[in-house]
Amino acid sequence: MNTSKIDVLFDDYTIKNRIQTLANFINEDYSDTSDVVLLCVLKGAINFFGDLSLLLDFDAEYEFVGLTSYEGTKSTGNIKLTTVLPDIKGKNVIIVEDIVDTGRSIEYLKKLIEADASDIKVCTLLDKPSRREVIIEPDYIAFQIEDHFVVGYGLDYNQKYRNLPYVGVARFE
Ligand code: IMP
Ligand code: MG
């Protein structure tokens, strides 16, 4: 399967603008909170994490966790950790994710850290609510999208297209 075309869904300007708005909400919510950890879900959230974190005006530690579930354009439903789990004992964790699709990855990650973390919130660049299989409602969402397979700005198709500076819908032929 080859992508024949990628249609721009959100350009760089639109993404940056929306992330600023999201950061404003988060700054308000966390103005009195200490021990905050931004937990980046690798690899897809890396660009969102980088842009968002620089707009937060409170002290936040960085942690990273690798999760994998997709092959091509389908979630295998078989979620695996690809890194060690960071120590987030007693921390107020903000999970930073690229996209919440079936919700299974975030459900899995939340279960892994919920006993240790003081609080867990989920912040995602993209949300595809129509594909949800478990009850997960992200606390901060940059954009809700229809059931499209998207790439760019960190998101991949078989590890490709991550470094496109926009989010685009991949059309397959
Ligand atoms: P979930 O477990 O089904 O919610 O899937 C979450 C993960 O699948 C995301 O973190 C992405 O890495 C990947 N994913 C889901 N939808 C897409 C997409 O449209 N493009 C690229 N990756 C996706
Ligand atoms: Mg991901």
Which residue range is the domain that position 134 belongs to?
Answer: 12-26+34-148
pLDDT at 94: 98
20: CATH: 3.40.50.2020
Binding site membership of 44 for ligand 1 (Cβ less than 6 Å): yes
Atom of ligand 1 nearest to the CA of 97: 10
Which of 160, 129, 164, 162 is closest to 3 using CA atoms? 160
Please indicate, yes or no, if residue 158 is contained in any of the structural domains: no
The pocket of ion ligand 2, defined by CB under 5 A, consists of: 44, 98
Question: What domain count does the chain have?
Answer: 1
pLDDT tens-place string over residues 4-37: 799 999 999 999 999 999 999 999 999 999 999 9
Please indicate, yes or no, if residue 48 is contained in any of the structural domains: yes
Binding site membership of 70 for ligand 1 (Cβ less than 6 Å): yes
Please indicate, yes or no, if residue 162 is contained in any of the structural domains: no
pLDDT at 70: 67
Give all strands of the β-sheet with 167-172 in edge-to-edge order. Answer: 3-10, 167-172, 150-151
Segments of the chain scoring below 70 in pLDDT: 1-3, 70-72
Active site residue 127: no
Which of 65, 101, 73, 102 is closest to 160 using CA atoms? 73
Please indicate, yes or no, if residue 110 is contained in any of the structural domains: yes
